[in-house]
Amino acid sequence: MNQTNTSPRLLSDDAMQRFLRDGYVTLRSELPADFHARMFAALDDLEEGGPRGHNNLLPCVPELSRMLEEPLVKGALTSILGDGHYLHFHRHDHFQFPGDAQPLHKDGDNHSHHAVDGLRRMHRTRFAMLFYYPQDTPLAKGPTGIVPASQYLPRRSLEAARRRLHRFNQRNRQEVEAEFGVRIHASRAAQAALQQRLERFRTDNPAMFDALEELDEPWESAKIPLTGDAGTVTIVHFDLVHGRYSANTTSQPRHMVKFLFTRDRDPLSPAWRHGGAEWPSSDDPMAPVWRSLWHWHRGERLPGACSVDSDGLHSDDDRIALGTAYALGAAATAASLDALFDAFLCDDADVRTIAAYGLVAAEANAVPRLLETLAHADAELAVRVLDVLGDIGAPAAGALPDVVAATNHADVVVRRYATEALGTVAQRGTVDIAPLATALADEDALVRRNAALATARLAPDIGAGEPLVNVLADNLYHWHHHVRGWAIEALQRLRTPAATEAALRYLATTRWDPTPKSGDVSAAKRPLAQAS
């Protein structure tokens, strides 16, 4: 099947609105059944967490990239992430045989954007995940489960309870490591001691675990299974709540391959098959959130509301609080901005997280007061302000000098968020490459990672960018795989001869042939155990 010259099949208005509301879209690959059978057999030979698998999955099974380039799949990704989206360096085959159900969770945000206060993930669709089944996956196979419309909810009560438990676990881990003088993974005795401590704590504190289960129950009740035939593909918002729905009760393994994708530019216009539809009116408390994101994807300023009651900002219900914050941001009146800033500057992390989303929705209207706040902020507050400015993106262009100045801040965490914000705030303008080059040589790996990501996002605005090529090329050999991953993307997007040469030279030397020379045997001539 030759699909090389086939255009991506974009989503319709209805499909795009369902994705923004529910957080997922399910497709069916049009590749033949024997393709999926080959993928299943090839994946079965890999290691879920080992060097022949995980982030090296595609070099081991390069034919799998044909599915990612299908017009139907490519069209959905383009609709959601824009024309310039690219494959993220992290991918994973979730193998289950037999395996139990998995707790519901949002994926660790280290692969997207580190959440301020451990809560404030970015709602705007700059990252997405793709789930692929190479085999038929009925309920008995233990399919992935998702919670529709959960991607924007911070789950404040549940996450607070989980953080308390995590802090206890971390403290015990550190104490055991100090007692044994080694890292936990290096000593079976230390592992056993830690396990005993954790089990004793659970026995002694049943109320804590009962409360945790009670907080988790509504999410478990709302989850649905993603069942489907071989070739089923589901694209989800990066922050959608998900987990293995149930145990695999069959005698056959189940594979679910997860790929991540990244938006390279914030939208200027709709990337889907847009027919001019508006967001439908709704009384749902989350409607202001969905409507705001619909307009962001269209590259438009959200029309304001006349009057909004700010009391909902302090609701314990995430849906009511978020809807209120977005409505206040859209209104952008003096009173609504006062309410948002009062909440944003308070000591309650739950409340200020909600308020930050409203300031992002206010876009340029919030920038003057954000800059006033930044001018007198300590490091912790500066991080929160820069996080919001980076989420606003190009409409916060007036903040660019302050963002650039913050990339040289003495506090490393401030530098991390400032460097990341540079990649969105500076879009559509003239970019000074000096702060990017400095950040790409920072002693901190995450500053370098964010600088490489920012360079990839700003490549069309940089021009020749030749002074960046050498420092990016050096980062291709950095110890942190995030630095390496985004450095190669930045080089490819600079599109200059020197950058392209550096990228190709690196890719040519790091390509991985999954079989040795002695493995060059056709499928028909392989032993039965290998050919099946």
Give me 362's structure tokens: 């206010």
Cα 225 to Cα 73: distance, rounded to the nearest angstrom: 21
- pLDDT at position 207 is 87
Bridge-partner residues for 258, per DSSP? Answer: 92, 131
Q: Is the predicted pLDDT of residue 1 greater than 60, yes or no?
A: no
Provide the pLDDT for residue 532. Answer: 41
What residue ranges in 104-194 does DSSP mark as E strands? 127-132, 144-146
> Directed axis angle between helix 188-204 and helix 156-180, to 10°?
140
For residue 2, pLDDT over 50 is answered with no
Residue pLDDT, tens place only, 420-438: 999 999 998 888 899 999 9
Q: Which CATH number fits domain 381-532: 2.60.40.10, 3.30.1330.60, 1.10.10.10, 1.25.10.10?
A: 1.25.10.10
Listed in sequence order, the residues at least 6 apart from 404 whose beta carbon sits closer than 8 Å to its beta carbon are 418, 422, 432, 435
- Torsion sign, CA atoms 194, 197, 200, 206: negative
- Predicted confidence at residue 517, as pLDDT, reads 63
For residue 96, the SS3 value is strand
Per-residue pLDDT, 45: 86
| DSSP H helices in 345-411 | 349-362, 367-375, 379-392, 400-406
Closest C-alpha among 446, 433, 451, 449 to residue 496: 433
Check residue 3 and give its pLDDT: 47
Q: What span, in angstroms and rounded, lies between the C-alpha atoms of 414 and 387?
A: 9
| CA-to-CA dists, residue 268 to 127, 169, 265, 432, angstroms | 17, 45, 9, 22
Among the ranges given (79-93, 228-242, 253-267, 502-516), the one the predictor scored with the smallest mean pLDDT: 502-516
Q: Is the pLDDT of residue 389 over 50?
A: yes
Q: What is the pLDDT of residue 305?
A: 67
Q: Which amino acid is residue 334, in one-letter code? A: A
Count of CB atoms situated within 10 Å of the CB of 42: 18
**Residue 64 pLDDT > 80, yes or no?**
yes
Is residue 95 over pLDDT 70? yes
CA 390 from centroid of its chain's CA atoms: 15
Q: Between these two residues, 252 and 3, which has the higher pLDDT value?
A: 252
The whole-model pTM stands at 0.92
- Rg (C-alpha) for the chain, rounded Å, is 24
What pLDDT, on the 0 to 100 scale, is given for residue 463?
74
Checking if the pLDDT of 283 tops 80, the result is yes
Supply the DSSP string of 487-528, one letter for each residue: HHHHHHHH--HHHHHHHHHHHHHH---SS-GGG---GGGS-H
Percent of the chain with pLDDT over 70: 95
Q: Which CATH class is domain 13-147+226-262?
A: mainly beta
Domain ranges of the chain: 13-147+226-262, 157-218, 282-376, 381-532
What residue type is 509 in one-letter code?
A: T
Least confident segment among 98-102, 170-174, 232-236, 291-295: 98-102
Mind listing the pLDDT tens digit for each residue in 18-48? 999 999 999 999 999 999 999 999 998 888 7
Note the pLDDT of residue 52: 83
Note whether 455 and 475 are within 8 A (CB).
no
Whole-Å CA distances, 89 to 86, 100, 441, 502: 9, 28, 21, 18
Query: Does residue 251 have a pLDDT over 70?
Result: yes
On the question of pLDDT at 344 being above 80, the answer is yes
Task: Give the percent of the chain with pLDDT over 90.
Answer: 74
At residue 523 the predicted structure's pLDDT band, cuts being 50, 70 and 90, is: low
| Average pLDDT of the chain to the nearest whole number | 92
